[in-house]
Chains A and B, each alone.
Chain A
């Protein structure tokens, strides 16, 4: 023990190597119980891909089982609502898989009634379009990518990602109050040759979480991919934020998929009224 100038008592390290030190090291060593807890947590955080109808898990990665030329991923409730109303209302979409994962941010375990406001990843096949409204933690992103993309390059595939971010995360020299939110920004991989439907995301802004993981994967495996990031001041399900994605409807990836825009607006309004969360904090 030693006293410092300020009168606090600190434990001074002993060069002789006493029993106290050994006790400390023992305390730091993992017990069997610690290992069991860690294993249980790892199992809980595993990303599993399965078919909801048959409840069987997919043995291979999703894109190996259902290869496609266009892969559209919507992350977050506004992006999912956009995809559900504008893209998936035309054509017949078959649900081919569902990603089940748990992390500390998950608030729901109900897998039967899904809506854009629920936390889940569902994969639909027409030209394959997953919509993901849950938060995929950093340690789970690699697993999610492996289960969906597999570990080898996908040829002849283009990936489009849609997601939202709060406008206060947008770094710019202009004042935030002069920004007309919601607005779209794009970030693409080197192999994506088409012009994006909006201006590119400027430095020093960065992309986070699952969209960043998917874009990085696509950049490494030379897959043409584009992320459309909507900066909005309303993060909950909101008509104006969803409509901010509309310029993407003219892009090549979505052109052939979107047929009935007036009907889409109706579907969107219905989705919004069903998912309105009643809260008394703000009026």
Chain B
């Protein structure tokens, strides 16, 4: 049945599927994992870094991009589609600021991106955007926000979520480990993001990129050294927990 209804974006199948949109969601799974955590006073975005060719400039291969001073996003899926969406979002952020003299709210820019994506699921001759995005930031009221959008144009607020390859595994880890203690302070929230990524990242800390936004502070990208330190601390804590467990059983 799928083969007769999956070529044109504007055609529903008899059982109500828009196959091109569903196939676009498969394209998202081809991108590497990205995880977003909403803490009490911090929002964290962690991504699995793509392997960069030897001669390629690493700075041009980024999964985390700032949309404005107080909002940033991570994406998973088609690189070129992400570039187009990010550019449109950045222009919209500035246009909004110049028009109403206030920075965008995280919800506003997420809704803008989601509406853009939805338009491409209902238009002749165009295909959906093959990306999902995690958008984080702080609004003027000081409340941290995390939203996720997908190729169908839906968006939802989350406490923590993951997109891309192995997103399901990471989400299950977050469901078990996202507790009030885990986000009690900033460093715990950062560690939670790294621990979630370590579940699926193939070569440990050197393949992780991390960005945080604290209330009233600009976006901060962690250096490789800082991430390595966090990973070492996490591994130490894991070892100590395992030692305690084995003592208890004996």
Contact surface of A with B, Cβ cutoff 8 Å: 168, 180-181, 233-234, 238-240, 269, 272-273, 276, 278, 280-283
Contact = CB atoms under 8 A, between A and B. Distances in A.
Nearest to B52: A278
Contacts of B90: none
Contacts of B31: 282-283
Interface residues of B, number: 27
Please name the 4 residue pairs, one residue from A and one from B, whose CB atoms are nearest each other, closest first.
A282-B30, A283-B79, A278-B53, A282-B31
Interface stretch (B70-78, B120-128, B211-219, B229-237): B70-78
A216 B73 CA distance: 51
B105 to A, nearest CB: 27
16 contacts: A168-B26, A181-B168, A233-B26, A234-B29, A273-B203, A276-B51, A278-B52, A278-B53, A280-B79, A281-B80, A282-B30, A282-B79, A283-B50, A283-B61, A283-B63, A283-B76
Given A239-B202, A283-B63, 5 more contacts: A269-B202, A273-B203, A282-B31, A282-B32, A283-B31
A30 B166 CA distance: 54
Interface of B: 26-27, 29-32, 50-53, 56, 61, 63, 75-80, 82, 165-166, 168-169, 200, 202-203
In terms of DSSP, what is the predominant structure of the interface of chain B? loop
A181 B61 CA distance: 28
A272 B75 CA distance: 24
Contact of B202 (A168, A272, A280): A272
A278 B27 CA distance: 17
A272 B52 CA distance: 15
Nearest to A278: B53
B29 A233 contact: yes
A283 B53 contact: no
Contacts of B26: 168, 233
